[in-house]
C-alpha cells in the first residue's frame, strides 16, 4: 500500500484527488492539507466525500508531513508550489504538481506567460511533462511530474496524432475551447458566481491565455487559442482546426476515414482515449479519465478539424495526475481510474 499526501486538498482538484485516492486499491491517504480549512472535516466542506473520509480533517502544511509518505500531489494555486518544491523533492517522495509552476522548461518562457520570474528555475529540468499518452517514458523514469493544464490536455491529445504524422501545419493551428466553471477553481470570482455564469457564454484570455504556451510546446506550434466559459459544472470541449500539409494532400489521406485511421492507430494501445466517428461531448466523459476524439476534413475550406472532449477535473487534472503517480510509483497506470463516464 502506497501512502499518499495531498497538499492543497480543499480546492476542486484536491477534492477530486480525495475521491480518486479513496477508490484506489493500492493507495491510502496519509494527509490532506488545506490551510484555510485546517481543522475542518473533509466531509463538512465536501459532503460527497463524507463516506470515504469520515474522520479525516484538513491540516496545515508542514515539512514533517512528508515523512514516510510515498507520493505527494500538490494542488495549489499558480505560483504557490515553487516555494515548497525544494523541500518536497529533497525529502525523496514522488511528486505530481497539478499547478502550472513546472510545466514550462524555460524560465524565460515562464516569465513571459506568467508575468513574473520563476523563483526556483534550477528545479525546472527535474520535472517530466505529464501528458501521459505523449510522454509516458519520461514520466515513468522520473520522480517529479508537472501535470498538464486542462485546456492543453484536450487540444494536444486531439492534434498530436495529426502533427506527428505530418498531416497538418503546426503554424496554422486554431483552438477554440469551452470549459465548465469548476475550471476556475473553488474560490468565488466575479465572473464565476451563479448570476454571472448562468445563461452566459463568454470568451476570455484573448490572445494571451497562459495555456497557449503548453500547446505550442507540445505540438511545436504557433497556435491561436481562445478559451470560453460556459454555464456547466465540469467538462472541456476543444474544437481545433489547421491547414493540411502538401504531403498529406499528395498522399491522399485527407478523407474522414483516413484521418480517423491516423488517430485510431496513434492511440491504439491507450486505455483512456476513445477515437470514433461520433462527435465528442463532455457528458460522455463525466467523472472518467477518458478523452473522446474525432477528426474530419472539410474539402470546401480545405481545413482539418479535430475535436476532443474530457472532464476538466478528471482527465484534465486529477485523473491525469493519478495516472502519472501510478507510473512513477511503479503501478499499472489504469489502477483506480475508469474510462466510463457517468450518465445522464
In a domain, 325, yes or no: no
One domain, residues 118 and 154: no
Are 199 and 104 contained in the same domain? no
Shared domain for 179 and 232, answered yes or no, is yes
161/286 same-domain check: yes
199 and 307 together in one domain? yes
Question: Tell me, what CATH number does 283's domain have?
Answer: 3.30.360.10
Under 8 Å between Cβ of 9 and 35: no
Domain annotation covers residue 145: no
Cis? peptide before 344, omega within 30° of 0: yes
Examine residue 319 and state whether it is found in any structural domain, yes or no: no
- Residues 180, 308: one domain? yes
155 and 93 in a common domain: no
> Is residue 150 annotated as part of the catalytic site, yes or no?
yes
Which of 145, 146, 150, 248 does the annotation list as catalytic?
150
Task: Indicate whether 173 and 285 sit together in one domain.
Answer: yes
Q: Do 154 and 105 share a structural domain?
A: no
Examine residue 40 and state whether it is found in any structural domain, yes or no: yes
| 134 domain-assigned | no
pLDDT for residue 187: 87
**Of 234, 231, 185, 266, the residue nearest 341 (C-alpha):** 234
Range of the domain at 61: 2-126
Query: Does residue 329 belong to any structural domain of this protein?
Result: no
Q: CATH number for the domain including 76?
A: 3.40.50.720
Question: Are 74 and 184 part of one and the same domain?
Answer: no
Query: Are residues 284 and 158 part of one domain?
Result: yes
Answer yes or no: do 161 and 304 share one domain.
yes
Domain count, the chain: 2
Residue 231 lies in a domain: yes
Is residue 213 in a domain?
A: yes
pLDDT at 188: 82
Residues 6+ apart with CB under 8 A from 304: 162, 167, 168, 241, 242, 243, 244, 254, 259, 295, 296, 297, 298
Question: Mean pLDDT, 10 residues at a time, over the chain (344 residues)?
Answer: 98 98 98 95 98 97 97 95 96 97 97 96 97 98 98 98 98 98 90 93 96 98 97 97 95 95 98 98 98 97 98 98 98 98 94
- 117 burial via Cβ count (<10 Å: 0-12, 13-18, 19+): exposed
Amino acid at each position: 500500500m502506497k501512502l499518499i499526501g495531498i497538499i492543497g486538498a480543499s480546492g476542486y482538484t484536491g477534492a477530486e484527488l480525495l475521491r480518486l485516492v479513496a477508490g484506489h486499491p493500492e493507495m491510502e491517504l496519509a494527509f490532506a492539507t488545506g490551510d484555510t480549512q485546517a481543522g475542518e472535516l473533509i466531509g463538512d466542506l465536501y459532503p460527497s466525500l463524507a463516506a470515504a473520509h469520515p474522520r479525516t480533517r484538513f491540516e496545515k502544511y508542514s515539512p514533517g508531513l512528508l515523512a514516510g509518505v510515498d507520493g505527494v500531489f500538490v494542488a495549489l494555486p499558480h505560483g504557490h508550489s515553487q516555494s515548497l518544491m525544494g523541500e518536497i523533492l529533497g525529502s525523496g517522495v514522488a511528486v505530481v504538481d497539478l499547478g502550472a509552476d513546472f510545466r514550462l522548461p524555460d524560465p524565460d518562457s515562464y516569465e513571459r506567460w506568467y508575468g513574473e520570474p520563476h523563483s526556483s528555475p534550477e528545479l525546472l529540468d527535474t520535472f517530466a511533462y505529464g501528458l501521459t499518452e505523449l510522454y509516458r517514458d519520461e514520466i515513468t523514469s522520473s520522480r517529479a511530474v508537472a501535470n498538464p493544464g486542462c485546456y492543453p490536455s484536450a487540444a494536444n491529445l486531439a492534434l498530436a496524432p495529426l502533427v506527428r504524422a505530418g498531416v497538418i501545419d503546426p503554424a496554422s493551428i486554431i483552438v477554440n475551447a469551452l470549459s465548465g466553471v469548476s475550471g476556475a477553481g473553488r474560490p468565488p470570482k466575479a465572473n464565476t458566481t451563479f448570476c454571472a455564469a448562468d445563461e452566459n457564454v463568454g470568451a476570455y484570455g484573448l490572445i494571451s491565455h497562459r495555456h497557449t504556451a503548453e500547446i505550442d510546446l507540445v505540438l511545436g506550434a504557433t497556435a491561436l487559442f481562445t478559451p470560453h466559459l460556459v454555464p456547466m459544472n465540469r467538462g472541456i470541449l476543444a474544437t481545433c482546426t489547421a491547414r493540411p500539409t502538401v504531403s498529406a494532400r499528395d498522399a491522399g489521406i485527407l478523407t474522414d476515414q483516413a484521418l480517423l485511421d491516423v488517430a485510431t492507430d496513434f492511440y491504439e494501445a491507450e486505455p483512456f482515449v476513445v477515437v470514433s466517428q461520433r462527435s465528442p461531448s463532455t457528458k460522455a466523459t463525466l467523472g472518467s479519465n477518458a478523452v473522446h476524439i474525432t477528426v474530419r476534413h472539410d474539402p470546401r475550406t480545405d481545413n482539418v478539424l479535430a475535436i476532443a472532449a474530457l472532464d476538466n477535473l478528471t482527465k484534465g487534472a486529477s485523473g491525469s495526475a493519478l495516472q502519472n503517480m501510478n507510473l512513477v510509483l511503479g503501478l499499472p497506470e489504469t489502477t483506480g481510474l475508469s474510462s466510463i463516464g457517468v450518465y445522464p
